[in-house]
Structure 1
Amino acid sequence: MTAPEVLCVGESMVLFVPAEQGPPEQVRTWLRTLGGAESNVACHLPALGVTSGWVSAVGDDPFGRVLLREIGAAGVDVSAVAVDPVRPTGLYIKESGAHGSPVRYYRTGSAASGMGPELLSNLDLDAVKVIHLSGITPALSDSCLALVRALLERPRGDTLISFDVNFRPALWAGRDSRVLTELAGLADIVLTGDDEAQTVWGTGDPGKLRALLPGPKTLVVKHGERGATLVEEVSLFSPALRVEVVEPVGAGDAFAAGFLAATLRGADPATRLRRGHLQAAATLLTHDDVGEPLPASVIETLLGADEDAWSAARLTDEGVLT
């Protein structure tokens, strides 16, 4: 099998959300879906014309088979996913209530938390163009941290490593989150939200973050609904599209996929940022973590728009309104 262009490494879990209104303890019907930062990125890429693979570990259980089937159905190569005969597939539950939607994780001791550097012996990484990681994986266990370190420290030739900080405070409780500086510093492409950067590094300012992370060639700082800043030889800010948001979850992974796809195709900095915004907008318009890409005509129009037209555009489920 031909190696995918982008290989995404990290845990995915089965997700249950209420299918009816009411306090969680009274809900009888739940909808089953799935979630995982790295697999989300992998699932976006085939629709963008980029071959992708997902590497992880799942339990030898129905939930593990669901993950393999549904992620594979998105066009992602899942052939390198390990099936653990002992540890279970992780899951999480999103509750709904008047005061928000708390999320409860049941991932301690999961199959993915048992991943380690030995996983690399089964992978052919030489033909992969980008390895995509996140800051979630090294927080899962010491062995997962060792796996991420091994990927970042191995000789990689022309392969780029993308690292999305994806800081999850609950996962880092009792662990030293300062290791994120080390890991991000070894990557070629680093993506972070300014809010999580403020928590991890004490600043969300792109210039100050570049001083703290001089190693990566590419630094992308996302500013939520304001836009994103790309820092390479120079700094470039691109405003986000105005979107009639249906569900905000998954937009960061979508942005990463759009940005990486455009980077692989040799696009200029402005186009790479706009591709990220366009893919994020498509996800913001749906309840799904991985939405369908916007119509090609919409993408073509907005990519070619001048700054005023781009800023004036507003996306709804009916299309582009100006």
Structure 2
Amino acid sequence: MVTFLPSRPGRLADAPSFTRTIGGAESNVACALAVAGHRVKWVSQVGQDGFGDHLVEAIGAYGVDVSAVGRDALRPTGIYFRTATDRATDEHEVVYHRAGSAASAMSPATVGPDAVGDARVLHLSGITAALSDDCLALMRELTAPREGRPTVSFDVNFRPGLWREASHGGGVLLELARGADLVFVGADEAEEAWGVAGPEAVRALLPEPATLVVKRGGRGAVVFERDIPARPDGHTPDTPTGTGTPTGTPTPADAVTPADAVTFAAAPRVDVVAPVGAGDAFAAGFLSGTLRGLPVRERIRHGHLMAAAALTAPGDLGHPPARRPPATPHAAAPRRSPWIAHADRLVALDDAAWGRLHLGPGWTRTGADQEGRTP
């Protein structure tokens, strides 16, 4: 969607003007991964209007392949307005104008498995499932077990206001999460959607995914990862592949499921400018580390740093565009980005130095490390 941010704090009714930017869970993840140097394709639909033009051009400027974005001549591009205050307070306002939008018309007929068949990882969001019955049918098809399926990453993203009944939304999201290989969920949203409290209870409810990431806000994140032996092609969950059996499919009844490896990594202290987009950024950082085959603690730390980049910026994205739109539809983003080099230095800190990190606006500038800065 196109996002409009007020020019000053306060109620939407009092905002004299707005700044236009971009937003959307999947596109946020795509842009952040492109900044990290990965080859990324965004699959969606927008209207044949100026807002659609803006989204395609702005997301493409991050180095994201936008060749699979459909243009709908009959339906508009979704837009929304939001205040800059924390969405957890009563002062936070969000006004959506996306009923009947081009994105809500996505379905198995418009986005088939071939559109994502060459991916190593397919990242999906629970928000899309709430947009329409057609979108839900698409999500069910993409998370269904099938030979050659990419590793499916699913961010629960429970938004009660998007569902006709919150309890129905919780059930649908649980169904989709159980079909994924890698699941992201906040401890607070798991309690709201499913009535379970604590990471261990979430894992008990979701034993199917090979990797489960439970985010605990400013405290950090817990990762449950099943110790799955490498397949004959040498791949493991740390090195996703576009071939083979999905790691999230149920094991045979007589198979022995190894115990989870459980890893916790604390989040650094962050001076928050705006909280929107942090969850998407965390997913991008963790996925980046997964694609690079990093150990789980480093994957979590990369997630925290990407989230901190979003938290210290006013919009949904914490980084400027990586470069101009690719010259060809499948051009790859730079394989080694300045952001990754910067983040790797921080991720490598020992526990004491990591615990002293205090990140504020502007920290993402390469070379402006906050190592050793105390509150």
Give the TM-score normalised by structure 1: 0.90
Rate the CA distance shift 1:40–1:295 in 2: closer, same or farther, 3 A.
closer
Q: Which residue of 1 aligns with 2:164?
A: 173
Cα distance in structure 2, aligned partners of 1:152 and 1:137: 13
Rate the CA distance shift 1:125–1:25 in 2: closer, same or farther, 3 A.
closer
Q: Among 203, 208, 231, which residue is 1:215 paired with?
A: 208
Q: Which residue of 1 aligns with 2:177?
A: 184
- Residue 80 of structure 1 contacts residue 123 of structure 1 at CA under 8 Å; is this kept in 2? no
- Paired amino acid for 2:54: V
Cα distance in structure 2, aligned partners of 1:80 and 1:300: 32
Unaligned runs of 5+ in 1: 1-12
The SS at the match of 1:17 is strand
1:258 matched to 2:293? The reply is no
Unaligned runs of 5+ in 2: 226-259, 320-336, 364-368
The SS at the match of 1:234 is strand
Rate the CA distance shift 1:155–1:313 in 2: closer, same or farther, 3 A.
same
1:68 matched to 2:56? The reply is yes
1:306 matched to 2:306? The reply is no
Rate the CA distance shift 1:26–1:215 in 2: closer, same or farther, 3 A.
closer
- Residue 12 of structure 2 contacts residue 93 of structure 2 at CA under 8 Å; is this kept in 1? no
The SS at the match of 2:117 is coil
Q: Which residue of 2 aligns with 1:205?
A: 198
Q: How far is the alpha carbon of 1:119 from its aligned partner?
A: 2.3
1:101 matched to 2:102? The reply is no
- Paired amino acid for 1:236: T
Rate the CA distance shift 1:134–1:22 in 2: closer, same or farther, 3 A.
closer
Query: Which of the pair is proportionally richer in helix?
Result: 1
Rate the CA distance shift 1:145–1:100 in 2: closer, same or farther, 3 A.
same
1:169-214 CA-to-partner distances (Å, cap 9, x unmatched) read 1001337111111100000000011110001111241111111111
Rate the CA distance shift 1:231–1:62 in 2: closer, same or farther, 3 A.
same
Cα distance in structure 1, aligned partners of 2:23 and 2:197: 27
The SS at the match of 1:117 is coil
Give the TM-score normalised by structure 2: 0.78
Q: Which residue of 1 aligns with 2:74?
A: 86
1:249 matched to 2:276? The reply is yes
Q: Percent identity?
A: 49
Rate the CA distance shift 1:255–1:26 in 2: closer, same or farther, 3 A.
closer
Aligned length: 310
Q: Which residue of 2 aligns with 1:271?
A: 298
1:30 matched to 2:18? The reply is yes
- Residue 126 of structure 1 contacts residue 156 of structure 1 at CA under 8 Å; is this kept in 2? no
Structure with the larger RCO, 1 or 2 (CA within 8 Å, 6+ apart): 2
Q: Which residue of 2 aligns with 1:115?
A: 106
1:56-89 CA-to-partner distances (Å, cap 9, x unmatched) read 1111111111111111111111111111111111
RMSD in angstroms over aligned alpha carbons?
2.1
- Residue 161 of structure 1 contacts residue 189 of structure 1 at CA under 8 Å; is this kept in 2? yes
- Residue 82 of structure 2 contacts residue 95 of structure 2 at CA under 8 Å; is this kept in 1? yes
* Larger CA deviation: 19-28 vs 279-288: 19-28
Rate the CA distance shift 1:56–1:312 in 2: closer, same or farther, 3 A.
same
